[in-house]
A and B are shown apart, each in its own frame.
Chain A
Amino acid sequence: MSATTGVSLDVVRELRAVCGEDHVVDTPEQLKGCSSNICSDPAVAIWPGSAEEVVAVLQLAGRKGLGIIPAGGRTQPVFGENQQPYAVLCTSRLTEVEHYDHADLTVGVGAGMTVAQLNAMVSADHLVFAPDPRLPERCTIGGLLATAGQGPLRHGYGGVRDFCIGVRFVTGDGRRAKGGGRVVKNVAGYDLMKLLIGSYGTLAVITSASFKLFPAPRQTRTFLAEFASATEALQFRDLIMRSPLAPMCLELVSPGAGKLMRPETTSDAWVMCVRASGSDAVLARYRKELGSAITREMDGEDEVKLWRGIQDFPINAEDWQDNARIHWLSLVVSTVSVVVPPADVHSVIEIVMRAAVPEVYGAAVVGRVGIGHVLAYLWIMNDEAPSDPSARVIDELGTRLSPLANISRSGARSPWALPPAQLMSMRAVKRALDPNNVLRGREIF
């Protein structure tokens, strides 16, 4: 038994035999960099270099009773408690390009490739990989799929479930398998992509995946409209949704979120950010339809900066790299993500903003309001404030909204703050793919 980790030295030796000496670490010093949002204290960290090695690791883990937590770029804001002992399986060596033909608008890459690397590769051919999760320089393809990650482009392009066309993976019991394929239309066999997307690494370790790509827009423009209240802003959203316009992004930024993004801002406005692509004539049409509500237009670097701020909110890449988050972030007690039917967005914002108490709690909201996704941030403004206000927010959301609403909260042990309604069926799926509960990184059941 290793004195420091609680994992048998034999197990570590066997893991090294599978992945190589340099790709398994188990001392506290070496593991320091592996502590993350996903796992606080891994006993051992492994970097398999191929799907075959992932198979061997999972089969070994099953035999030895070792828990495995797959990890990509560790960009998710959800914390969890883990049962010991467990190993973190890092996918960063799985970066192979399996197929890419720009004329087919499809690509297949290893789970460890980052979203930014993939976009850099395809942008040379004027294509775009549409998912724009937070911190794309760190967020991996595997992590994006496992957490059903998304960003502002979700509004115009759809979610990753809409354009993941194939997935290769290793089940919790060490079977190497695939679903889908490399072509954009394919109904052969079960749609295992859907099952693994958003399963938080509890069913299988994703080793690679294939996607549809899109032609990159030739030019974009962002139109900003400011409102005194969320109610007025959402009325504007409704007008857009009923119009012929089809923006790439439609994002609502609360006054608090605006100030956090740009501390020099003094405005108390709710800002609706509408991003459009197309020719001059198309953009002129947007200008005409959006009318006098538009207070500002952005393009070029300013536009890129705005959307990167929204995409990464509340973190930005530089802060992350310095490992020193901005001051207010250290006081954030909860991040609440809520996906509801668009008509319920107003209720969600009301509930979140009621949690804001001057000088006690702060609340900020960024919302993909066209599709019903609201991200809320709650933080403590003075040291004497009672602890976490988010529990009350979650309770109220649970009471007011459909029990099927997708609500998650940082700090929770499960990715879903409200228990999913279909737990029995989920258990059946879990038993089918991970009967020995090797992949137990999230406490779902």
Chain B
Amino acid sequence: MRIPAVVDQLRKIAGRDAVLDRPEDLMLYEYDAGVRKCTPAAVVFPQNTEHVSQIMRLASSAGFPVVARGAGTGLSGGSISPEGGVVLAFARMNRILEVDAENMRAVVQPGVVNQTLSDNVAHLGLYFAPDPSSQKACTIGGNVAENSGGPHTLASGVTVNHVTGMTVVLPSGEVVRFGGKAAECSGYDLTGFFVGSEGTVGIVTEIIVKLLRRPERVATLLAIFETIDDGARTVSAITAAGITPAALEMLDGWTLRAVEAACHAGYPLDAGAVLLIELDGLAEQVEEQAEAVREVCLQQKAREVRRAKDEAERALLWKGRKNAFAALGRLAPSYYSQDGVVPRTRIPAVLQFIEGVAKKYGLRIGNIFHAGDGNLHPLILFDPRDPKQLELVQQAGRDILEYCVSVGGSITGEHGVGLEKRDLMPLLFTDEDLDVMLSLRNAFNAAGVLNPGKLFPTTRMCAETRGPSSNPVLIREGM
């Protein structure tokens, strides 16, 4: 089908002003927060589940790919359309449909911004726990697609631990409902399966999420170390002391200097590393744990352990952490972020390995990570105008992820596989593992209409399924 014909159909479904097809408009939808780009054929803004259903019926019959998109803050290329595809953007499905304080649940549309939900239930003493660094912009639909995490998922769990039900539109246009407000529902846990499926099996149009009660007390500590090794060893020492902090983040000295220059968060400029440690809960418990953590840090050669005096100081420390990626933009035109995971006892070893990789390729690599759960975000700085640099950076990233897998870890802890890491999946999974996952994808999305080319290695997609390579795409006039 040609683009103008599809655009006409999309306008009939969603409204005249709900479809973009001019090149200058489409440019805004050709990238996410990662390094890949591809311009879609059109962007449509559905306003309700019925719109999504009609669009999927059209896509399935006309055979064009559809890619769901929240705010485009993802780091794995998950929301980038293949050439000739249609982006389903959820900016207009951004309503909080219900807040059920009694059952501590909210029902939201996928375009609701993560932070907005917490802001809207704050007066009830509640909040939504998953808190990706992009929470001021990223949407809950995107969080569901990627099973996003964030600093506070150490104790609270990632997105899947906070979703109990959803409404989903399948590629056929059929609308199905999984789960509900109850902690467990009858039947297979399809809610759990769809969370983190990266938009490859269905499009979520309503989400039932858990809300948590705000803790009575929060203590935020900044432990300052002369060396990154001392900081890294402290992570497992805290765990070994029987303490699970709400958050346990690490920044190396090089990164925190960039952060300080950008955010003036109060980080020390001369440190080798810092740990940002947050404890929350009952006041008595938090005070005891804060003291215990301070002792562990000092035993592990912390130079100093500071505690945020008030909410403003706490917010400033977190502002520094959550804006760390952006702060590194002051040092180089671009960065390539990795998302590997290692068992937390391997953090000192993986940091040494990353240092070796930086030397090997002559690159600058900053380390910001969710140390408590071993989720690393090495940020490799580069200039995208130099294709050779991008190649080196990607090879360095691959080396780091291979190392993570070799010590029992994973290639992604919270960013998803998407386009970026699809060809690294065989590091973790056997052919048979991938075959089983592919048969499940095909159970819902056999024609590959939904988000083709994501999550599975390209070799498997071409060889064994009707994937993107054989999927008809929209043809521009004049092509």
Contacts and interface: CB of A to CB of B under 8 A. Distances in A.
B160 A194 contact: yes
B343 A182 contact: yes
B436 A175 contact: yes
A156 B456 CA distance: 37
A432 interface: yes
Interface stretch (B175-183, B320-328, B352-360): B175-183
Interface in B415-445: 415-417, 421, 425, 428-430, 432-437, 439-444
B195 A244 contact: no
Given A159-B183, A194-B193, A339-B184, A104 B343 contact: yes
B182 A185 contact: no
A158 B284 CA distance: 23
A279 B292 CA distance: 13
A181 B429 CA distance: 10
A228 interface: no
B188 A282 contact: no
Contacts of A148: 184, 189
Interface string A385-420: 000000000000000001011111000000011111
Contact of A279 (B160, B179, B284): B284
Given A183-B342, A285-B282, A433-B440, A191 B195 contact: yes
B459 interface: no
A185 B373 contact: yes
B242 A215 contact: yes
Interface residues of B, number: 89
A28 interface: no
B161 A158 contact: yes
A424 B175 CA distance: 11
Interface residues of A, number: 82
B437 A423 contact: no
B94 interface: no
Contacts of A183: 341-343, 373-374, 408-410, 413
Nearest to B413: A185
A187 interface: yes
Contact of A186 (B170, B177, B185, B410): B410
Interface stretch (A2-10, A195-203, A253-261, A293-301): A195-203
Contact of A191 (B188, B193, B285): B193
Nearest to A177: B436
A101 B184 contact: no
B184 A178 contact: no
A190 B244 contact: no
A417 B195 CA distance: 26
A188 interface: yes
A177 B433 contact: yes
B201 to A, nearest CB: 8
Contact of A405 (B182, B242, B282): B182
A406 B439 contact: no
Contacts of B122: none
Contact of B177 (A176, A214, A408, A422): A422
A340 interface: yes
A121 interface: no
A187 B182 CA distance: 24
Contacts of A171: 436
A161 B215 contact: no
Of B158, B213, B408, B415, most A-chain CB atoms within 10 Å = B408
Interface stretch (B50-58, B145-153, B309-317, B467-475): B145-153
Given A183-B374, A244-B283, A432-B439, A420 B196 contact: no
A176 B432 contact: yes
A187 B146 CA distance: 8
Nearest to B440: A432
Interface string A231-252: 0000000000110111000000
A181 B425 contact: no
Given A341-B103, A406-B185, A422-B178, 19 more contacts: A159-B183, A171-B436, A181-B409, A184-B373, A187-B147, A188-B428, A190-B193, A190-B441, A195-B188, A215-B243, A279-B285, A282-B284, A342-B102, A342-B104, A402-B180, A405-B182, A425-B444, A432-B439, A433-B436
Closest 7 interchain pairs by CB? A194-B192, A420-B187, A404-B180, A215-B242, A244-B216, A416-B186, A177-B436
11 contacts: A104-B344, A181-B428, A183-B413, A191-B193, A192-B436, A194-B160, A199-B189, A215-B243, A402-B182, A406-B185, A425-B178
